[in-house]
Amino acid sequence: MLEVLLKHKKESSVSIKVLWEAVIVGFESVWPEHLSGIRRGDVWCFSPLKEIGVTASDMVPFHKLSQWLTYSLLEPIESMGVKFDEMELMTGLPSLVLGPGRTASVRRGRR
């Protein structure tokens, strides 16, 4: 994974899209196979969205687990000198409630 990131590094940074793709593609095999034989990834059915005759119309790409993994990889990779840009493309993760009026963001330790 680090080799892929370094290959795409421009000057001092690499797009978060490169790490995201490495996570989505690289970890595809951990997701269960659908009856059709296709691995859908971090995508789940929501039957109220189903449209008759429209393939996969009931599929919702949550990517929650993939995002957590991506965020958890940022700090160790950055400690090796790789900086990420386009972080605004990532979805913010929920905050942890530490007590009355105190929260800690799961994303990169921000408060």
pLDDT tens, 9-61? 887 789 999 999 999 888 888 877 776 676 777 777 888 889 999 888 888 87
Collapsed DSSP state (helix, strand, coil) of residue 40:
coil
User: Which of 31, 18, 4, 23 lies closest to 84, judged by CA?
Assistant: 18
More confident call, 31 vs 81: 81
pLDDT > 70: what percent of the chain? Answer: 77
Q: Which pLDDT value is given to residue 93?
A: 64
Contacts of 39 (CB under 8 A, 6+ apart): 28, 29, 31, 32, 33
- What pLDDT score was predicted for residue 17? 93
Per-residue pLDDT at 28: 80
pLDDT(85) > 90: yes
Q: How far apart are CA 60 and CA 68, in angstroms?
A: 17
Three-class DSSP category at 105: strand
Tokens of residue 39, six digits: 């691995």
